[in-house]
């Protein structure tokens, strides 16, 4: 049988002596970081959607002027265009603060824990779960990616 069909590669094998509890803890930490990645994506959605809305207000201002409502056009422009979303902040500043204050420290901490506790081996919990759930010998259940020539 081809070697790539059985067992995870060395980077996804548990180092000798690493306990089930440690693998579980690192898996939980990784999952929490993945959730943070999703939250960060939503923050970028917020950033881009708010910026898009700000530019769309320009069109509303233009239409209000064209419709004969210059006072409303000016009021909307003055009150909304370029407005801070929270005091002193545009959305890019919120994204920057989140990245610096929470996301990057969390990312570094998780990487450090994996390095120190599991010799830098990522996703051990998932690799072991894959081994438990896959059908050995099935061509669509290989343990590792096939090399292009295989």
How many domains, the chain? Answer: 1
Q: Long-range pairs for 52-56 at CB < 8 Å and ≥24 separation?
A: 54/80, 54/81, 54/82, 54/83
pTM of the full predicted structure? 0.81
72 lies in a domain? yes
29 lies in a domain? yes
For residue 119, what pLDDT is reported? 93
For residue 149, what pLDDT is reported? 58
4 lies in a domain? no
Low-confidence ranges of the chain (pLDDT < 70): 1-5, 148-150
Domain that residue 106 falls in? 19-133
139 lies in a domain? no
Record the tokens describing residue 72, joined without a space: 């409303």
142 lies in a domain? no
7 lies in a domain? no
145 lies in a domain? no
Contacts of 136 (CB under 8 A, 6+ apart): 5, 6
Record the tokens describing residue 127, joined without a space: 């690799």
Average model confidence (pLDDT) for the chain? 92
111 lies in a domain? yes
Q: Whole-angstrom Cα distance, residue 7 to residue 135?
A: 11
For residue 131, what pLDDT is reported? 87
């Amino acid at each position: 049988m081809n070697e790539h069909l059985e067992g995870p590669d060395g980077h996804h094998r548990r180092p000798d002596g690493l306990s089930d509890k440690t693998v579980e803890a690192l898996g939980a930490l990784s999952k929490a970081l993945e959730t943070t990645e999703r939250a960060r994506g939503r923050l970028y959605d917020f950033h881009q959607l708010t910026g898009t809305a700000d530019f769309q207000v320009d069109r509303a201002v233009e239409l209000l002027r064209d419709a004969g409502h210059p006072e409303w056009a000016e009021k909307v422009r003055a009150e909304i265009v370029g407005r801070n979303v929270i005091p002193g902040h545009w959305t890019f500043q919120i994204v920057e603060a989140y990245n610096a204050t929470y996301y990057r420290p969390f990312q570094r901490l998780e990487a450090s824990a994996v390095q120190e506790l599991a010799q830098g081996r990522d996703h051990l919990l998932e690799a072991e779960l894959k081994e438990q759930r896959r059908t050995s010998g099935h061509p669509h259940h290989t343990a590792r990616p096939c090399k292009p020539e295989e």
